[in-house]
Amino acid sequence: MQVKLNMADRCHFCGYRLDGLPDKHHCPECGFAFDRSAEVITQSSYGPIAYLVMGCLGVVMVFIRLAHSDGREWWQLGLLVTFLGFVFYGWRCLRQRNRAILTQDGLCILGRFESNVIVMKRDSWRESWKRIGEVRWPRWGTHITIHDTTGSEIFEFSADFFGANSRGKEFVKRASAWIREVNCDAYCSSAAKDANTHT
User: What phi and psi, each to the nearest 5 degrees, are found at residue 181?
Assistant: -65, -45
Looking at the structure, do residues 181 and 104 belong to the same domain, yes or no?
yes
The mean pLDDT of 151-163, rounded to a whole number, is 85
Looking at the structure, do residues 75 and 109 belong to the same domain, yes or no?
no
Q: Rounded to an integer, what distance in angstroms lies between the CA atom of residue 169 and that of residue 135?
A: 10
Record the pTM. 0.66
Looking at the structure, do residues 82 and 118 belong to the same domain, yes or no?
no
Banded model confidence at residue 164, pLDDT cuts 50, 70, 90:
confident
Looking at the structure, do residues 194 and 104 belong to the same domain, yes or no?
yes
Q: List the beta bridge partners of residue 14.
A: none
Nearest to 81 by CA among 134, 117, 28, 39: 117
pLDDT score for 175: 92
State which residues form the domain around 77.
Answer: 46-94
Looking at the structure, do residues 85 and 165 belong to the same domain, yes or no?
no
User: What phi and psi, each to the nearest 5 degrees, are found at residue 113?
Assistant: -80, -25
Which residues contact residue 18 at a Cβ distance below 8 angstroms, ignoring those fewer than 6 apart?
9, 10, 11, 25, 27, 34
3-43 pLDDT, tens digit per residue, is: 333 455 778 777 788 888 888 888 888 888 788 778 888 87
Q: Rounded to an integer, what distance in angstroms lies between the CA atom of residue 3 and that of residue 146?
A: 38
Looking at the structure, do residues 63 and 132 belong to the same domain, yes or no?
no
Looking at the structure, do residues 111 and 194 belong to the same domain, yes or no?
yes
Could you give the C-alpha distances from 123 to 9, 46, 98, 180, in angstroms and in order? 22, 22, 10, 27
Question: How many separate domains does the chain show?
Answer: 3
83-141 pLDDT, tens digit per residue, is: 887 777 777 766 677 888 898 888 988 887 654 444 456 678 889 888 999 999 887 77
Looking at the structure, do residues 77 and 160 belong to the same domain, yes or no?
no
Looking at the structure, do residues 1 and 69 belong to the same domain, yes or no?
no
Q: Rounded to an integer, what distance in angstroms lies between the CA atom of residue 12 and that of residue 32?
A: 8
